[in-house]
Structures are given as C-alpha cells and as structure tokens.
Amino acid sequence: MRKLLIILLLAFTTNAHSQVIKDQQGNYIVAQAQSTGKTFTDSKGNVYPVMMSINGKLFIVRTSKTGRIYKQYLKIKE
C-alpha cells in the first residue's frame, strides 16, 4: 500500500521543468508517467509496478533505507 501511495504522490506532483502536452481541445496539460499494468520483481522478492515515462522509458519507484524516493530505469534486453 505504501508503494502505491508513493507512486500516486509522484504522479500528482510537478516541478518547474514539467513537460506539457496539448489535448484534443487545444488546452495544455502536464504530461505524467503512466502505469503499464506490469510488475517487476527484484532479487529479494519485492514486487514493484512498472511505470512508463512520457519519453517511453520504463522505470520503477524505489525507496531507500533512509526514506529517499527515486526512479530506477529498467534496461530491457530484447
């Protein structure tokens, strides 16, 4: 539950360098990361939801032992 709350918090916060997109009506809105509906399981068995940035890169949101929240971008081998 805490991880979901962190993801929602990141999705709704913006900063001065936010990217903006134009909707169908011509209005400008802040572009946000979207959930892919997939999950990532690390070597310790922790499961994280996979997000896609507005640039199309996949990442997960992790929290360090000190409480720092950061994005870990995933490298996909094809």
Helix ranges (H only) for 13-58 are none
- Higher-scoring residue by pLDDT: 6, 31: 31
Contacts of 22-29 with C-beta under 8 Å, sequence gap 24+, read none
Looking at residue 14, its pLDDT comes to 46
- Higher-scoring residue by pLDDT: 15, 69: 69
The mean pLDDT of 24-36, rounded to a whole number, is: 84
Over the stretch 33-77, which tens digit does the pLDDT of each residue have? 888 999 999 999 999 999 998 888 999 999 989 999 999 999 988
The mean pLDDT of 11-30, rounded to a whole number, is: 72
Spatial distance between the Cα atoms of 7 and 61, rounded to a whole number of angstroms: 7
Looking at residue 21, its pLDDT comes to 78
